Chains A and B, each alone.
Chain A
Amino acid sequence: MTRKTIKVDVLARVEGEGGLRLVIDGNTLREAELKIFEPPRFFEAFLRGRNYTEVPDITARICGICPVAYQMSAVHAMEDALGITVSHPIRELRRLLYCGEWVESHVLHMYMLHAPDFLGYEGAVEMAKDYPDIVQTGLRIKKAGNAILKLLGGREIHPINVRVGGFYRVPTKRELAPLREELQRALEMSLNAVRLIAGFEFPDCTRDYEMVSLGKAGEYPFNAGRVVSSKGVDITPQEYDAHFEEYHVEHSNALHSRRVGAGSYLTGPIARYSLNSALLSPLAKQAAREAGLEATCNNPFRSIVVRAVEVIFAFEEALRVIDAYEPPDRPFEDVALRAGTGYACTEAPRGMLYHRYSIAEDGAILDAKIVPPTSQNLPSIEDDLRTFAPAWLQQDTNRLRHLCEQTIRNHDPCISCSVHFLKLDIVRV
């Protein structure tokens, strides 16, 4: 029997640097490894000794595509440690900011990174030659998400307005109002987009994932809720460490995660959708139905449809927040320093993002733990390859390689995120 190794040295159209290695022995797939060689940046190490107020801006730099997620998990964890409850308008503005990031990140992935797989192009720029309308529509929808980030956050990448307890400055009703028209237009474009995307051809690949996301929040989740799974997990973020663990594998500069006593699990759009679809806004629900989605989705190739539905939700939710907005009395809650440990999970575009910080009495960070969605998903992505790829082994090498790349891109892995965090244990002799 011939032994063949298929390599993709640099995975394209993912955020960050990873590669793929498959070892095929005759008709059997021996190994499937997602190699993560993105260099480690040691965030958890250099956060030690920083002041708690600096953490949202520092952790934002873990990821240029989803900085808001890092800011949100950071401020919620600090507020948990310090016993701060934010006012209703602050809570609403945080949801609005997250809407902007979901749109920007999802649309980037759907149109620029993922759609070319379904339409048979190397990338969006090549695709734009034949489908200029699709690419232009994507760019316009994405711009509307970025408009939220720019207005409320100050800029699109690494927004500057988020702080523990609230915002540095909150917008007036009048300042938010002009967003309305742009968001409404983008919502209409997004409804058409779902129809287009639902018409793509999806391989018939499903898997019995353990889906994990925030849930039981009485709302489609961003910043609040319990950590729930399709196989019975139902805990608070404070209990995360007892149920999920990280481990180090040789082929990855990103730690992997598993549920203690269970194994790989999946976080991200299809998990969030499957555990919360009843809580979507009206047009998003309708669009999901028209796109042929059931109440749950376990075909990762259809994640692009779920993202398209979540974009509609994000626009409807953003419009709801803007319409109901009354500015808070003060932009942020005051902080009374105390020593403690705080925990938070929020829903980054790619899935659940866990932060834990211990703070000293003077506000210095003693210890930090950050578990990004992509590192939680890496074992599931490899399981997808092991499950789906054997059926493709007879295809020619280029086709096989492309299908495997697509299997990885289904989960929109953010490798920059997942490798921020090699943990350092400092032992002083």
Chain B
Amino acid sequence: MAKAPGKPKLAVWKFASCDGCQLSLLDCEDELLAVAGAVEIAYFPEATRGVLKGPYDVSLVEGSVTTPHDLERLKDVRRQSRSLITIGACATAGGIQALRNFKDVKEFTNIVYAHPEYISTLEKSTPIGAHVEVDYELRGCPINKHQLLEVLTAYLHGRKPNIPSHSVCMECKLRGTVCVLVRGAAACLGPVTHAGCGAICPAYNRGCYGCFGPKETPNPQSLSPRLADRGLDERALQRVYRTFNATAEAFQKESERHDA
């Protein structure tokens, strides 16, 4: 396969993840062929056997780093990529698999596998940015496909992506959803959670569970008492912050305040 002249080369890489964020690209049913026309899809094993050699203009990276081999692979990806964009909570904040990070190391030494000698894994699940320089981090578990298209378009045109960093609360207001916290319908992480999903959960009569991670300058310490009013005890408060972005700084700190 020869590189078409002038087309930027796009690569999609996977580390520890569920595949959902790269699936978002294939879920762009109306735009996928246009994207494929605007870039050369140079490496995307979930979609094609075809492989073009690097360097790549834009690399989308899904997943967190959990094995020694993946750490080496990531460094190689960085070397080959002009821009490296992380997609989703795993790549940006370590993902759900970072729940292992809170386990006591001593406890881990007592863990027995069927055949532990077959397994190679690191003690912690870490985001891409902990190891290499990242040019842009797109939030969400999963990411929003429209935001993905926006970021791709921005990078292809050399401009800054237009991705708001305010809270889910703003999205509820824009959508006209009555606040679930105020009307006492549910405990909600909306006030501290990064926008991007479109405030889906409150519109479905449940509280936001923080899958986009902390917003810019969040204040979870002042939210937690409101959640406690809704009946969350210390253990429940800790769990609320320990899901898909458990090791994002603001959520991790707040969860540690509720070590029951």
A427-B205 CB under 8 A given contacts A16-B19, A40-B119: no
Contact of B201 among A10, A160, A429 (CB under 8 A): A160
Is B26's CB under 8 angstroms from A112's CB? yes
Is B23's CB under 8 angstroms from A157's CB? yes
Is B67's CB under 8 angstroms from A39's CB? yes
Is A157's CB under 8 angstroms from B239's CB? no
Is A154's CB under 8 angstroms from B121's CB? no
Is B200's CB under 8 angstroms from A13's CB? no
Interface readout for B1-33 with A: 1 if CB under 8 Å, 0 if not? 100000000000011111111111011011011
Interface readout for A32-58 with B: 1 if CB under 8 Å, 0 if not? 000001111111011000110010011
A155-B197 CB under 8 A given contacts A15-B46, A50-B239, A125-B41: yes
Is B119's CB under 8 angstroms from A253's CB? yes
Is B114's CB under 8 angstroms from A51's CB? no
Which A residue's beta carbon lies closest to that of B96?
A: A61
A6: min CB distance to chain B, Å: 15
Q: Which residues of B contact A156 (CB under 8 A)?
A: 27
Interface of chain A residues 391 through 427 with chain B (CB within 8 A): 405, 414, 416, 422-427
A20: min CB distance to chain B, Å: 12
Is B18's CB under 8 angstroms from A424's CB? no
Any chain B CB within 8 A of the CB of A64? Answer: yes
Any chain B CB within 8 A of the CB of A320? Answer: no
Is A142's CB under 8 angstroms from B141's CB? no
Is A416's CB under 8 angstroms from B50's CB? no
The size of the chain A interface, using a CB distance under 8 A, is 75
Any chain A CB within 8 A of the CB of B231? Answer: no
Is A64's CB under 8 angstroms from B47's CB? no
Interface readout for B236-256 with A: 1 if CB under 8 Å, 0 if not? 100100011000000000000
Is A12's CB under 8 angstroms from B113's CB? no
A13-B111 CB under 8 A given contacts A61-B244, A157-B23, A416-B19: no
Is A10's CB under 8 angstroms from B45's CB? yes
Q: Which residues of B contact A112 (CB under 8 A)?
A: 26, 47
Is B121's CB under 8 angstroms from A40's CB? yes
A128-B49 CB under 8 A given contacts A64-B19, A155-B197, A416-B17: no
Is A124's CB under 8 angstroms from B67's CB? no
Any chain A CB within 8 A of the CB of B209? Answer: yes
Is B205's CB under 8 angstroms from A169's CB? yes
A426: min CB distance to chain B, Å: 6
Is A168's CB under 8 angstroms from B205's CB? yes
Any chain B CB within 8 A of the CB of A95? Answer: no
Is B113's CB under 8 angstroms from A424's CB? yes
Which A residue's beta carbon lies closest to that of B97?
A: A41
Interface residue stretch chosen among A79-87, A133-141, A283-291: A133-141
Which B residue's beta carbon lies closest to that of A117?
A: B49
A108-B26 CB under 8 A given contacts A42-B100, A253-B119: yes
Is B204's CB under 8 angstroms from A122's CB? no
Is A158's CB under 8 angstroms from B49's CB? no
Cα separation A422 to B116 with both chains bound (whole Å)? 10
Any chain A CB within 8 A of the CB of B214? Answer: no
A57-B209 CB under 8 A given contacts A13-B49, A154-B204: yes
Interface of chain B residues 123 through 162 with chain A (CB within 8 A): 125, 141-142
B162: min CB distance to chain A, Å: 21
B220: min CB distance to chain A, Å: 18
Any chain A CB within 8 A of the CB of B174? Answer: no
Is B19's CB under 8 angstroms from A427's CB? no
Any chain B CB within 8 A of the CB of A7? Answer: no
Any chain B CB within 8 A of the CB of A250? Answer: yes
Cα separation A314 to B37 with both chains bound (whole Å)? 32
Is A41's CB under 8 angstroms from B112's CB? no
Interface of chain A residues 97 through 148 with chain B (CB within 8 A): 104, 108, 112-113, 116, 122-126, 128, 132, 135-136, 139-140, 142-143, 146
Which B residue's beta carbon lies closest to that of A16?
A: B19
Cα separation A133 to B121 with both chains bound (whole Å)? 44
A422-B29 CB under 8 A given contacts A39-B67, A158-B211: no
Q: Which residues of A contact B111 (CB under 8 A)?
A: 424-427
Cα separation A69 to B100 with both chains bound (whole Å)? 24
Which A residue's beta carbon lies closest to that of B102?
A: A46
B71: min CB distance to chain A, Å: 11
Is A54's CB under 8 angstroms from B18's CB? no
Q: Which residues of A contact B36 (CB under 8 A)?
A: 125, 128
Q: Which residues of A contact B114 (CB under 8 A)?
A: 247-248, 255, 423
Contact of A65 among B19, B95, B97, B112 (CB under 8 A): B19
Cα separation A161 to B115 with both chains bound (whole Å)? 38
Cα separation A155 to B199 with both chains bound (whole Å)? 11
Is B107's CB under 8 angstroms from A426's CB? yes
Cα separation A118 to B183 with both chains bound (whole Å)? 56
Is B49's CB under 8 angstroms from A123's CB? yes
Any chain B CB within 8 A of the CB of A92? Answer: no
A393: min CB distance to chain B, Å: 21
Interface of chain B residues 194 through 215 with chain A (CB within 8 A): 197, 200-201, 203-206, 209, 211
Is B15's CB under 8 angstroms from A39's CB? yes
Cα separation A40 to B116 with both chains bound (whole Å)? 12
Cα separation A157 to B118 with both chains bound (whole Å)? 32
Cα separation A416 to B88 with both chains bound (whole Å)? 16
Is B244's CB under 8 angstroms from A46's CB? no
Any chain A CB within 8 A of the CB of B99? Answer: yes
Is A123's CB under 8 angstroms from B29's CB? no
Which B residue's beta carbon lies closest to that of A158?
A: B142
Cα separation A15 to B63 with both chains bound (whole Å)? 13
Interface of chain A residues 61 through 76 with chain B (CB within 8 A): 61-65, 67
Mind listing 19 A-B residue pairs with CB under 8 Å? A14-B46, A15-B46, A39-B15, A51-B239, A63-B20, A116-B49, A122-B50, A123-B41, A125-B41, A125-B48, A136-B33, A155-B197, A158-B142, A158-B211, A160-B206, A248-B115, A250-B118, A331-B205, A425-B111
User: Closest 5 CB pairs between A and B?
Assistant: A64-B20, A123-B48, A122-B50, A12-B49, A143-B29
Footprint of B on A, CB under 8 Å?
Answer: 10-17, 37-43, 45-46, 50-51, 54, 57-58, 61-65, 67, 104, 108, 112-113, 116, 122-126, 128, 132, 135-136, 139-140, 142-143, 146, 154-158, 160-161, 163, 167-169, 247-248, 250, 253, 255, 331, 405, 414, 416, 422-429
